[in-house]
Amino acid sequence: MSGKKKVIVFTTGGTIAMKYDPKVNGLVPAVSGEDLAAAVPGLDKVADVEVREFSNIASPGMTPEMMFQLSKMINEALESEEVAGAVVTHGTDTVEETSYMLDLLHKGEKPVVLTAAMRGAGDTSPDGPANIYCAVKTAASKEARGKGVMVLLNETIHAAGQVRKTHSANPATFASPWWGPIGYCDVDRVVFRREPLNRQTFAPEALTARVDIVPAQTGIGRDYIDYAVAKGCKGIIVEGFGRGNIPPMMVEGIKDATDKGVVVVITTRTHGGRPYQVYAYPGSVTDSRNKGAIRGGETSAAKARLKLMVILSEKPELAGNREELEKLMDV
């Protein structure tokens, strides 16, 4: 009987599982989950690893429904007493969304670590193997218990609710603006320096609520809000400027949407801070809230969308309880 802990690695695709194809002059999905694990020197010394292939797609193809199904698979796997934690290999483009969705749905104390790569498996200096090694090491560590879902690249560990991709190409792309990482993977052990605070978890039976994002743009009107309502959205995330302020022409669209029972949440496009009713001019958060919108807290628009989708799928009645819903969103 091995003394090593068991870690399940779920593979989803992404650059980490791609190689250059001269026929199309670009990276394409080409590496299986087993091949990924086999390419990591010393991985067998860190944990007993079992690989389960969920998908092999580029991460822009990941959907909330796929994230939901992946969460169910992970939670089921972690019910086994012999499993210490789970790792998910993923594309970098949407790993912040998938990690956050998994965190919202995560059960128990066992760690889930998402990792990725900015360079393909066939590149001269691929970063995937080292990232997988550190992710498995973290998932197997007792120090990672109770930290929820994390994202790990370049030996640096981020909380799912705070991590952002900040550069289109640099391997050091992931950061947690204004907060910083929660820990790092060192040679001898995994080190944590803070806890991810204010985590929230939910348990919908299925994803039933459609939620769209409408970004504020200079000179924009209400058209996209009206379109989202017409398409049957249960919620709309409005990504505002600065403190959450938006062009005045959008506000009447917000009023009509909320009058029809559609939840409208104001977020900010900035990487730090939260929307708040500091100003009182047309298009300010004060104005939007007077027309029925609620504040979205510190999360990005992309993450606020997933959270509202989960909340309204589990408790659709909260659409009519603005005060309670704002407490859940403005965290």
CA torsion sign for 276, 280, 284, 287 is positive
CA–CA gap between residue 307 and residue 204 (Å, rounded)? 11
> Which residues have CB under 8 Å from 153's CB, separation 6+?
92, 115, 116, 117, 118, 127, 131, 171, 173, 174
Residue 84 Cα distances to 48, 77, 132, 179, 246, angstroms: 10, 10, 16, 27, 46
CB neighbours of residue 51 within 10 Å: 18
> Which residues have CB under 8 Å from 29's CB, separation 6+?
13, 17, 18, 56, 57, 58
In the residue annotation, 15 being an active-site residue is answered as yes
Q: Which one of the listed residues 12, 15, 92, 94 is annotated catalytic?
A: 15
CB neighbours of residue 59 within 10 Å: 20
Question: 295 near 326, Cβ under 8 Å?
Answer: yes
CA–CA gap between residue 49 and residue 52 (Å, rounded)? 10
CA–CA gap between residue 180 and residue 178 (Å, rounded)? 6
The single residue listed with the structure tokens 């659709």 is 316
112: helix, strand or coil: strand
Return the structure tokens found at 204. Answer: 């919908």
Q: Where are the beta strands (DSSP E) in 216-301?
A: 235-240, 263-268, 294-295
Q: Known catalytic residues? A: 15
